[in-house]
A = this chain, B = another copy of it.
């Protein structure tokens, strides 16, 4: 049976399997879900085994396990390493979900669940592509290795050393990752640039306890006022990041790059409508595509202090916390940017407040060469299945591990995404279009055959 016939015949079962994968709340950042994360790792290992892969291994780490598997009988043929992650983001705020994030539900051709598009759905389609290829020809067209982690959403603390120590075992002619998005429905993308990342926590402390605002209000420092002032100082009036030195290493976009970025279709009106926004906002002098693709950012991702729950407490808060992340480009180094922010916080630290910082995540920016044959053949495969040749956008997101794979294995990384930008990744009502699940299986199979 051909791969496409096989997919058609087994689609229902494959979606059921994905549903059971998505039912495991493998939230890597929450200690209370540690067992669930392990369960998801075992689930992946079993599904690799039953798809026909060999040497399936659960590699325990100090955190969550890495799943390895391979099939290396295509003598003289190239080797492809497939990477993905089985861990997911937290699901909160739960009240904004229309269905339970861990009881997947198909509505209107979309499978709703935490992790549906990021990354369980996009990972599982690779495993199903192997199954279909084995069915079609009794073997795989190329050598294949799987290296699947459970810590992508917590910045992969244990995968980089594993890659360094297993350079030989993981060696490949291309690393294939499906954890990115199409430009829009029907228009695939092979991302050729990823922004780097730096995530940190910034805390402010004033008194040793919250104080009554009637008794002390107006006379003592307020931790929330202090944090608000600090946070507000991070951007100037033009939307630029006001941290000294921040733009060092950020390349001035060339006319060619600007043209390339401008080619990515973008419908402002539709975007505003989809996101429920009144207007876009960002650094003056740059387009939306530039701001989100090739410019660095500093965003507050979360913040809390004082009494913010139900009811009202007339207190002067003594503590306040913010979580901040930067997207980095060009030669920006996350550790250097962290030091710049530390300097900024020291300079702007408000009277009577002590600020503390904690580094959470770092990832260097990555640039890939779109003319590499391994990437061009992926474009051919998309074109064959979708009837449209993909674009090569600069993605705003960060997949920290891409830099490690690229550097250690000295292999091109093929960012073969099957998500859509509207699929609410990291947000309530995350979903995955099932059309791209099945077409994804076909595209991956087509790609591997073309490398043979």
**B-binding residues in A (CB < 8 A):** 27, 29-31, 89-90, 92, 96, 154-155, 181, 195, 197, 199, 206-222, 224-225, 228-229, 231-232, 235, 275-283, 288, 291-292, 295-297, 299-317, 320-323, 325, 327, 350-354, 360-361, 395-398, 421, 424-429
**Nearest CB on B from A126, distance (A):** 22
Distance between Cα atoms of A291 and B428 in the complex (Å)? 45
Which of B199, B208, B218, B325 is within 8 Å of A297, CB to CB?
Answer: B218
Q: Determine whether the beta carbon of B218 is less than 8 Å from that of A325.
A: no
Distance between Cα atoms of A277 and B206 in the complex (Å)? 6
Q: Which of A30, A218, A219, A352 has the most CB of B within 10 A?
A: A218
**Nearest CB on B from A263, distance (A):** 17
Which of B214, B300, B360 is within 8 Å of A195, CB to CB?
Answer: B214
Give this chain's copy count.
2
Distance between Cα atoms of A398 and B361 in the complex (Å)? 45
Q: Determine whether the beta carbon of B327 is less than 8 Å from that of A308.
A: no
Which of B235, B312, B351, B361 is within 8 Å of A154, CB to CB?
Answer: B312
Which of B306, B354, B427 is within 8 Å of A278, CB to CB?
Answer: B354
Determine the chain B residues whose CB is within 8 A of the CB of A325 once the complex forms. 213, 217, 312, 314
Distance between Cα atoms of A313 and B30 in the complex (Å)? 12
A426 with B218, Cβ < 8 A, contacts A307-B302, A312-B323, A315-B301 known = no
Distance between Cα atoms of A197 and B213 in the complex (Å)? 10
Q: Nearest CB to that of A266 among chain B residues?
A: B219
Q: Determine whether the beta carbon of A215 is less than 8 Å from that of B361.
A: no
Q: Determine whether the beta carbon of A315 is less than 8 Å from that of B280.
A: no
Distance between Cα atoms of A79 and B282 in the complex (Å)? 67
Q: Determine whether the beta carbon of A313 is less than 8 Å from that of B222.
A: no
Determine the chain B residues whose CB is within 8 A of the CB of A232 once the complex forms. 228-229, 231-232
A311 with B29, Cβ < 8 A, contacts A219-B288, A281-B352, A300-B306 known = yes
**Nearest CB on B from A364, distance (A):** 15
Q: Nearest CB to that of A212 among chain B residues?
A: B426
Determine the chain B residues whose CB is within 8 A of the CB of A315 once the complex forms. 301-302, 426-427
Which of B276, B312, B354, B360 is within 8 Å of A199, CB to CB?
Answer: B312
Q: Determine whether the beta carbon of B89 is less than 8 Å from that of A313.
A: yes
